[in-house]
Chain A
Amino acid sequence: MEMQEKVIKIVSDATKVEAGNIKGETNFVDDLNLDSLDMVEMMMKMEEEFGVEIPEDKTEELKTINDVTNFLKSNAN
């Protein structure tokens, strides 16, 4: 499974939004209505799944699925 697909699956499982309705440009706050605490939990799930640490100050910059995928790709071991 491509990394982007995995990211979408995690987001879909957590938000109960169908994976087919989540795209690269989907915005966590505007499109999925996540609040800041939801975002912390979402990033924790990403960290656990991909073994990549996402610094707290970075979280605010990760607004879309593409942002997260790109961050994980460039920081994966």
Chain B
Amino acid sequence: MTPIYSDLENKIVLVTGASRGIGNSIAKALAAQKAHVVFNYRGDETKAAALKEELEACGASKVSALNFDITDYDKMKESIDAFIKENGNISGLVNNAGISKDQLVMRVKSEDIDSILGVNLKATMMLTNHLSRNFLRAKDVSVVNMSSIVGLMGNVSQSVYAASKAGLIGYTKSFAKELASRNIRCNAVCPGFIATQMTDELSDKAREEYQKSIPMGDFGSSEDVSNLTLFLLSQASRYITGEVIKVDGGLYI
């Protein structure tokens, strides 16, 4: 069940990492709210065109595909600035792009730390910081950072990923404090175990073990995360900022 947020209609929202998983669900959910959905892609024109078509079919008022890798800051800035010049200010941002590489702490290499923090934390900060001037000109601005339950509770083999997601929470709160006086909001969402391609690939035994650890007894769906994200992007949550909200079926109570 997804409510309609009338203020999301025509709202220009940029979603990073929209090609699959939770990001894809969020982009589709925004399209269904008739938002102007903007996503970035890294070079594959065919896949980008297919996603654009898919989002248009979901009902988006407009879909814009921007060709940049979020770690290529010059290209990101150039692409974002050109988009704003043509379309107007972006008033919603969903920082969802992220990577992970599971490994024990003794096996973590320096370059793994650089790449995971580089995408999950630094690129998110660079993109959001770059957009902050545009946010000062825009109305009803809301930024949603996709953190993770792992950023709150830690996890075996995910030390770097957990650090990046915990870092995102500190960034979320600082950004929220710094720009609250301008009615620019920023919140973090912490998904728990969400049914995605990754959980589909688990063995039955592993799946059962994970499910047992969740008080509500099952994985969440990507729609559970997109529903919260829509609420945070909409003015229905106008007095909520700097908040960290779990979508985890009670996993981390």
Closest chain B residue to A48, Cβ basis: B137
B182 and A37 form a contact (CB under 8 A):
yes
For B179, list chain A residues within 8 Å (CB).
Answer: 37
Any chain A CB within 8 A of the CB of B181? yes
Residue B205, interface by CB 8 Å: no
Contacts of A37 in B (CB 8 A): 178-179, 181-182
Q: Is B236 an interface residue (CB 8 A)?
A: no
Which B residues, 168 to 217, have Cβ-Cβ distances below 8 Å to chain A? 178-179, 181-182
Contact of A44 among B133, B178, B181 (CB under 8 A): B133
Q: Is B104 an interface residue (CB 8 A)?
A: no
Whether A19 is near chain B, meaning CB under 8 Å from some CB there, is no
A37 to B182, CA, bound (A): 9
Q: CB within 8 Å of B: which of A24-75?
A: 37, 40-41, 44
- A40 cross-chain contacts in B, Cβ below 8 A: 133, 136
The count of residues in chain B whose C-beta lies closer than 8 Å to any C-beta of chain A is 7
Interface of A is mostly: helix
B182 surroundings in chain A (CB, below 8 A): 37
Q: Whose C-beta in chain A lies nearest to the C-beta of B132? A: A40
Chain A residues contacting B181 (CB-CB under 8 Å) are 37
Q: Nearest chain-A residue to B136 (Cβ)?
A: A41
Q: How far is the CB of A37 from chain B (nearest CB, A)?
A: 7
Per the bound structure, the CA–CA distance linking A44 and B179 in Å amounts to 16
Residues in chain A near residue B178, CB distance under 8 A: 37
In the bound complex, CA of A44 to CA of B137 (Å): 9
Tell me the nearest residue of chain A to B178, going by C-beta.
A37
Q: How far is the CB of B125 from chain A (nearest CB, A)?
A: 16
Residue of B with least CB distance to A43: B133
Closest A residue to B182 using CB positions: A37
- Measured CB to CB, the closest approach of chain A to B202, in angstroms, equals 47
A37 to B136, CA, bound (A): 10
Q: In the assembled complex, which residues on chain B have CB atoms less than 8 Å from the CB atom of A41?
A: 136
Shortest distance from the beta carbon of A23 to any chain B beta carbon, whole Å:
27
Residue in B closest to A36 when the chains form the complex, CB atoms: B178
| Bound form: Cα–Cα A13–B137 in Å | 16
Query: Which residues of the other chain, B, contact A44 by a CB distance below 8 angstroms?
Result: 133, 136-137
Output the least CB separation between A51 and chain B (Å). Answer: 14
- CA–CA, A40 and B179, complex, Å: 12
In the complex, what distance in Å separates the CA atom of A37 from the CA atom of B181? Answer: 10
Q: Which residue of A lies closest to B181 (CB)?
A: A37
List the A side residues contacting B136 at CB < 8 Å.
40-41, 44
CA distance A13 to B237 in the complex (A): 31
How far apart sit A36 and B16, CA to CA, in the bound complex (Å)?
A: 29
Give A residues with C-beta under 8 Å from B: 37, 40-41, 44
A37-B179, A44-B133 known; 8 other A-B pairs, CB under 8 Å?
A: A37-B178, A37-B181, A37-B182, A40-B133, A40-B136, A41-B136, A44-B136, A44-B137
